[in-house]
Amino acid sequence: MLARAVLPTRSGSLAAAFLKTSSATIMPPKQLQGLSRTLQVKSYRQSTVFYRAMSTTLKPEERAGTFTPAAPSTTTQEKEELRDGARSIIHFKLSPNRHALNVPKLDPKEKVWENPTHHSVWTKEEVENVEVTHLPPADWTSRVAYTIAQTLRFSFDVLAGFKFRKATEDMYLNRMVFLETVAGIPGMAAGMIRHLHSLRRMQRDHGWIHTLLEEAENERMHLLTFMRLKRPGPLFRAAVLVVQGVFFNVFFLSYLINPKICHRLVGHIEEEAVRTYTHIIEEMDAGQLPLFNHVIPPPIAVSYWKLAPDATFRDLLLAIRKDEATHREVNHTFANLKENDDNPFLAEEEYRAKITTMGQPTPVAEKKA
């Protein structure tokens, strides 16, 4: 029969050996260590059989990803304490998150999964206290960025008809879907460039990459949420294709030339996003958008922002507006920093990542008594 023998973590690269023995007795660690030095997989076929044997002998709870991971060894903890610098994300070996392949579906019919990445979940007080702010341009880079942001907003308002008639629920949904298809580009492009810089220069990134990629993922989740409420047609999708191709390439090249202008531009664009969501919420409160009062947040939004079971569309917009306000502050801060400065948001991100993983944050909309 097959008996799994787990080697100590200090013994080397071979983590587990599956031995064919006549009993379930496991060989002593010293003999296993000696065996691990001589054991070699001679072909791809052998390696495939070897790992299949590993997967078939796992316990059901291990295959399902529901078991509780063992605490890290003392040696691992000591290394984490001695390592310099803050941690923006939890290492996968120390994280209680399940493997991505074992994440269950929330709604099998609609193919909705629980997002396994770390992200911020806001409290009721945090989402209610968002303010519409504006950072006045202080130098030529800020003036250039602000001018571009205002030009983009004016052009979109004209093309989408917001300058000529009163906005309806359908117009606002079109606006939110279209803008979120573009909003996820800056974080991904900037994070990719800094990632390549780190590889090419063989230097640390000082924590910017994770924040930028998390921003891109957050904006993508905004889009996926609104896609459950609005199905764009062929013309809409064609416009997205053209705008995405142009904006990504222009932003990519601009970031290579002057990252400060790019971060300042994103900061001003996020200012406009906060203003837009605030205006929508105010119109809902005034009763001018009655159809939105009957919209229920989709399961993907309830899972991602940890919304209450009876959350409304207004609660969803409050959480999204808080995300945009955070991106506003992050990008304005990055625009003030040098490229090799440390990311000042690492400590907060690490804290929020931990409480989000543990499922402890206060939901945005508390269930009414």
What are the domain boundaries of the chain?
2-59, 100-358
Instruction: Flag whether 118 is marked binding.
Output: no
The model's pLDDT over 308-344, given as tens digits with 9 standing for 90+, comes to 989 999 999 999 999 999 999 999 999 999 988 988 8
Work out the average pLDDT over 44-52.
41
The pLDDT of residue 121: 81
Going by their DSSP bridges, the two strands 16-20 and 105-107 should be labelled as: unpaired
| Buried-exposed string 7-38: b where 16+ CB fall within 10 A, e elsewhere | beeebeeeeebeeeeeeeeeeeeeebbeebee
In angstroms, the CA 200 to CA 198 distance is 6
The pLDDT of residue 108: 55
The pLDDT of residue 96: 46
pLDDT for 66 beyond 80: no
Instruction: Flag whether 62 is marked binding.
Output: no
Work out the average pLDDT over 4-33.
42
Q: What percent of the chain has pLDDT over 90?
A: 46
Instruction: Flag whether 350 is marked binding.
Output: no
Question: pTM score > 0.75 for this model?
Answer: no
In angstroms, the CA 118 to CA 350 distance is 9
- Closest Cα partner for 88 from 207, 240, 219? 207
Cβ neighbors of 99 (< 8 A, separation 6 or more) are 65
Rounded alpha-carbon distances, angstroms, from residue 190 to 88, 185, 220, 293, 339: 17, 8, 15, 37, 12
In angstroms, the CA 364 to CA 347 distance is 22
Work out the average pLDDT over 131-158.
92
Task: Look up residue 157 and give its two tokens.
Answer: 């308002």
In angstroms, the CA 77 to CA 71 distance is 9
Superfamily name with CATH number, domain 100-358:
Alternative oxidase (1.20.1260.140)
Query: pLDDT class for 73, splitting at 50, 70, 90?
Result: very low
Instruction: Flag whether 222 is marked binding.
Output: yes
Query: pLDDT class for 109, splitting at 50, 70, 90?
Result: low
Cβ neighbors of 369 (< 8 A, separation 6 or more) are none
Instruction: Flag whether 91 is marked binding.
Output: no
List, as one string, the DSSP characters of 73-127. Answer: PHHHHHHHHHS-S--SS--TTT--PPPGGGPPEEETTTTEE---S------HHHH
pLDDT for 92 beyond 70: no
The pLDDT of residue 9: 42
Radius of gyration of the chain (CA): 25
With residues binned 3-state (H G I as helix, E B as strand, rest as coil), the percentages for the chain, rounded to 5, are: 60, 5, 35
Instruction: Flag whether 327 is marked binding.
Output: yes
The pLDDT of residue 314: 94
